Amino acid sequence: MSTTSSNAVRRARGTAAPADGSQYGGSIASREPALYAAALAEGLDPEGAVLLSNGRSRVYRLPAATWKGGSGVVAKIHARGHALAAAQQCAVAYWVRSEGVQTPRPLRRQPITSHGGVAVSFWEDFGDGGRATPTGLAGVLSDLHSLPEPPDFLGIRLYQPFTDLHVRVRALRDLAPTVRGHLIRELQALAAWWNVARWPTKSGVIHTALSPRETTATASGTGLLDLADLRIGPPMVDLASVALQQDVYANDPALPHQGDRDDDPDAAYEAFHQAYGVDVMRFADGRPYRALRWIHILTGCIDALERATGSSAWCTEGDYRLSCVRGDEGDPPWYWRTAAEMAEVER
């Protein structure tokens, strides 16, 4: 991979494209046959599906589909062979909702599997209510962190990021040995710290992958949109995710979709930690936060490098994130695109 300058990444805008994804060619039936078949089996109209996110799962809004009670519908196409994980996500959502945390309702308890093991699940669409306020985010995170111990059948595992990240780094193709070695050494140093870390609160249910696009304002409060990465671990992991938005990722007038970013990230974070009651950036002189921040940064870098296969946009983004991790772009703030911004570029 080439090293891409931050200025080049900041200038990269992408080109406008049809919102329904038709620039990929063909109808939704030809582009996403598993989605098309599952929607018809469920009695839903898949035409005009709009791509919302293109990560480990592809998420579409189905504007022509409605569910009981008039709810809009969102479809999630899970990775091939992940039908069991998809079913667990549905079960987790039912449990979380039963405990009072707002999250979209699965429209059925089991996903529909077809086309060689591709699972598709359908969810209540919370719509475009806008991103949560800092105080709303603090409230829903506090609710999540206060959940009781989850039932074993939900399969919510301990948060152990390093085992997974090591495997993912070793599996990356087209990565120079020196770069792979650098990432592995960073992970080993963090794992050594993690093994002796002490936390001010007991472990509980945490989100682990919190970003601005994972929350939304609703008519009755604040909702969490994706619970695929729920784990049992220290709540400070999630608090660090929020602090990153102010500390690592910055506003940049060259980036599109500035509505997804805070006009005043300092004030937003101040409001958040005042409402939640803990400032992770200042706890214990900030030492735990600096380590947690680096875990999130490495995870985001590895995410982009994995998605670079077959995507020129993600290749450019992955090069830039890797350059940041290696110290070539100076200290944060950096200008990493969100997953939603990358979906827009790829349309």
Which CATH number goes with the domain that contains 81? 3.30.200.20
Q: Which of 92, 125, 158 is the last residue of a domain?
A: 125
Final residue of a structural domain among 98, 125, 152: 125
| Contact in structure between 80 and 51 (CB atoms under 8 Å) | no
Domain containing residue 334: CATH number: 3.90.1200.10
Q: Which two tokens stand for residue 325?
A: 């991790």
Least Cα distance to 51 among 29, 67, 74 occurs for: 74
Please give the C-alpha separations between residue 261 and each of 71, 160, 218, in angstroms, as whole numbers.
Answer: 27, 29, 18
Tell whether 72 and 185 lie within a shared domain.
no
Reported as a single tens digit per residue, the pLDDT across 64-115 is 888 877 789 999 999 888 899 999 999 999 999 999 999 999 998 889 988 7
Judged against a pLDDT cut of 50, whether residue 251 lies above it is answered with no
Neighbouring C-beta atoms of residue 325, cutoff 10 Å: 20
CA 69 → CA 30, 59, 72, 125, 199, distances in Å?
A: 30, 22, 9, 12, 44
Q: What are the CA-CA distances from residue 202 to residues 236, 295, 296 (Å)?
A: 10, 20, 21
Examine the domain organization and report whether 224 and 342 are in the same domain. yes
Is 160 found in the same domain as 113? no
Percent of the chain whose pLDDT exceeds 90: 49
Angle at 15 between CA 11 and CA 20, to 5 degrees: 140
Query: Is 259 part of any domain?
Result: yes
Give the tokens for residue 263: 């006009």
Between 281 and 251, the more confident residue is 281
d(CA 287, CA 222): 30
